Structure 1
Amino acid sequence: MLRAGVAESGGGAAADRLAPERFEPPWVPEAVRRHAGGPDMLPVGSPGKVGLLELAFERIGERTELTGHYQKAPLHITRPLYHDPARPDLPYVMLMMSGGGVLQGDRYRIDASCGAGASVHLTTQGATRLYRMEQDYATQRVDLTVGPGGYLEYLPDPTIPFGGSRYYQRIAVTADRDATVVLGETLLAGRLARGERHAYTAYCGDVEVRDPDGRLLFADPVRLVPAELPVTGPAVMAGFGVVSSLYVVSGLRPAQEIADALHTALAATGLRAGAGVLPGDVGAWARVLGDRSPEVLAASTAMWDAVRRLLLGVPAPDPRKQ
């Protein structure tokens, strides 16, 4: 295992990481895949086109430590910060990219494991911008593994698909039966300040959560292809500019209690929103819609705070992004 803060380079292990089967998703929806290739672009796999992060967190003594770390530009991280006075054992790690956004032909993969009894919060440096793509497409794989008694929060900032972008993201979680996972996603319809809405070519995503035996607990697929199907219906974005979802997988409290806490937090926002129990009572989920990102992000923070208070007995800290 690599030491925290050390990026491995060279050798067979690094070469294996750059094999296409490692950084390419196992499957890409046809709405995105149909745009593969292009004669005039920097090929997939070229330097700077494949970003990799591998992170391992373990409980050591009184707090969780980053014990494994591999990174390949354009993906990298900040050092873990322990800034939450209510949970001084829990590190906050910011996932970063050295470029300004995601380009055509980019392939990103993030692997993070949270060991037995460990706790960690993962977020991003800011919004993920998906730039216009005239050839090919971009993908991101996020694989999260949480061990017995582990607690992991993955709450990235919003994703903004620019006009003409083509993107697929797969978030795959493997959670022990007594682990807790708090997973968030926020999507804008486009560059709202410029009046751009659903001008992207295709935005597709999959969220899948499984137990250690590989049994699927639940899945939430998204397929947004504005030229083929309207994305303004009540089951999609309903004419709003921002949608945010929160999934909470936990056995610390009954699923209905978690759903009720999310519902109470959302009711105070006055936004279009709803909360319910996940299949098999493995937890709860909520979704909120709004016209502007500040109001939706405030609602997302309120949900996170409600979950923190219910499951951990402590409030959510103020975000530390400057």
Structure 2
Amino acid sequence: MSEHYDGLMQLGFSERNGRVITRKKYYEGNSRISADTSQQQAEMPYYFLISTGGGFLEGENYHVDIDLTKGAKALVTTQAPTYVFKCDKHGHLTKQKTLAHLEEDTYLEYLADEVIPYGKSRYLQHNIFELDQSSELIYSDGVTAGWSEDDKPFQYTYFHSLTQIYRDGQLVFHDNMLLEPEFEDMFALGYFEGKTNYNNLVIISQAIDADFIKDLRAFLDEFDFVSDFGISELACPGLAVKILGPTAGDNREVIMECTNYFREKVKGLPALRLRKNDRRG
């Protein structure tokens, strides 16, 4: 790649003789990739993406590239939230781009922690997923009210998250979130509505239809969640969950219950436990 990156991570997975192998693992700059921790899940390669600098500095540029060839499956998650430090020296954007390519009969779980923007930070993230019609994806991300020296919420200057999911070359999911707290009431209706944490979960699979979503809603009704959330059916076989809550942990409970429901009902996989405070595991 000719473009300069302050942190670059590349992962590639392939299926060979009935098992999935990691055929590519590369990182440079302020980024690291953990060793394969699949022994904790035993079903697929399992990696953590790590930022070694503690956070992203003004004007830095990061890139994540993941590709799965026919029949491969993988679980990729971040080690910690993404901290974006203040960008008040020159006003330059801090940027991160994630590109994932899924070939035929692949399955990727990409569960990213939330972004925590510091006061006066400016951040742009662009997530692009290219799916085959037969591939399956679970993706999550989020953003918080941020951090500031006076502990006041929403002190960052600019946050822009663009997520695009393509299926057989057709755009099936487009999520464009632009937050400028200096000019907007972040607690207003249509924004954070009195909450401080927002998370997004998308699941795409041929197994998801209106009946699946109805059953998922009934399952979630059994829990007394603190966070508010809504589930929407996508134009393609899939669903999106939007979550607002007082803490990242509260939102994560919703994410993990939805994820584990899909894993158990569709994939025949055991419940996933990524954090000590996940409800089940």
Q: Settle same-fold status: TM greater than 0.5.
A: yes
* Offset, 1:277: 0.1
Contact 1:258 1:310 in 2 (8 A): no
Quick one: distance in 2 between partners of 1:77 and 1:176? 26
Contact 2:172 2:236 in 1 (8 A): no
**Residue 185 in structure 1 maps to residue 169 in structure 2:** no
- Please identify, of 225-234 and 162-171, the stretch whose mean Cα deviation from structure 2 is larger: 225-234
* Offset, 1:123: 0.5
Quick one: distance in 2 between partners of 1:191 and 1:291? 14
Quick one: distance in 2 between partners of 1:266 and 1:199? 34
**Residue 295 in structure 1 maps to residue 250 in structure 2:** yes
Q: 2:274 maps to which residue?
A: 319
Contact 1:129 1:160 in 2 (8 A): yes
Runs of 4+ in 1 over 6 A off after TM superposition: none
Q: Return 5+ residue gaps in structure 2 as ranges.
A: 277-281
TM-score by length of 2: 0.90
**Residue 96 in structure 1 maps to residue 80 in structure 2:** no
Q: CA-to-partner distance for each residue in 1:285-305, whole Å, 9 max, x for gaps?
A: 111111122212222221211
- Please identify, of 147-156 and 75-84, the stretch whose mean Cα deviation from structure 2 is larger: 75-84
**Residue 200 in structure 1 maps to residue 170 in structure 2:** no
Q: How does 1:86-125 map to 2 (within 5 A)?
A: 88-125=42-79
Contact 2:208 2:239 in 1 (8 A): no
Q: CA-to-partner distance for each residue in 1:40-82, whole Å, 9 max, x for gaps?
A: xxxxx5xxx6211121100122321110122211112012121
* Offset, 1:264: 3.7
Quick one: distance in 2 between partners of 1:301 and 1:90? 18
Q: How does 1:1-322 map to 2 (within 5 A)?
A: 17-19=1-3, 45=4, 50-85=6-41, 88-134=42-88, 135=90, 136-191=92-147, 195-212=151-168, 214-251=169-206, 253-267=207-221, 268=223, 269-278=225-234, 280-319=235-274
Quick one: distance in 1 between partners of 2:170 and 2:7? 29
RMSD: 2.0
Contact 2:107 2:136 in 1 (8 A): yes
Quick one: distance in 2 between partners of 1:84 and 1:61? 22
Report the secondary structure of 2:39's partner residue.
coil
Quick one: distance in 2 between partners of 1:242 and 1:265? 23
Aligned residues: 272
Quick one: distance in 2 between partners of 1:148 and 1:170? 24
C-alpha change, 1:206 and 1:261, in structure 2 (3 Å) is: farther
Q: 2:279 maps to which residue?
A: none
- Please identify, of 161-170 and 223-232, the stretch whose mean Cα deviation from structure 2 is larger: 223-232
Amino acid paired to 1:59: E
Contact 1:184 1:246 in 2 (8 A): yes
Higher strand share: 2
Higher helix share: 1
Q: 1:34 maps to which residue?
A: none
Contact 2:227 2:246 in 1 (8 A): no
Quick one: distance in 2 between partners of 1:286 and 1:320? 20
Q: Return 5+ residue gaps in structure 1 as ranges.
A: 1-16, 20-44
Quick one: distance in 1 between partners of 2:133 and 2:77? 24
* Offset, 1:232: 2.2
Report the secondary structure of 2:27's partner residue.
strand
